[in-house]
Chains A and B, each alone.
Chain A
């Protein structure tokens, strides 16, 4: 069983707070780690795809880091805004092209 886990399951923050959450995944046969933002009633939207150990990606106030040796990635949101409220999914892809596994997501609510 290939486990991709995310924590916390959900969190509530105040507008302006910075926050981060974690995705853990199998470190063997790693090919890529994806982060998606998924708003209710919409389809998931790609944020980042990372392939190299130590990768850091940034998009506006959102950034992500990758550690393939220990099998984790962090997603950071700086100065959270209500429009950041969504479920953030990570997905692990293996190097055989056979496994594409999503984590259960972290549901973020940003309170004004």
Chain B
């Protein structure tokens, strides 16, 4: 079956622009996660959904970051007024039920803010 997909794969934005990153989880997976991976670092947790409910957003670095999953499947991570420090790879992952289970990752979106 299809894995986690993300689009776009690459995004270049001018500082101050808004961007939207999309994640399609594995079909039937209840839990969805977003991570931010800076260059040369491991991924860091941003936010977690169970179905359409955002249960944990403790990792979002500022109020410019917003995520939604309105129908419990596809999710969008939105970054408003992008800053250079937002440049990173944004990874999406899903797991079948809860966050106690193995997470399967997508290929990521590489964001470069100029």
Partners in one complex: no
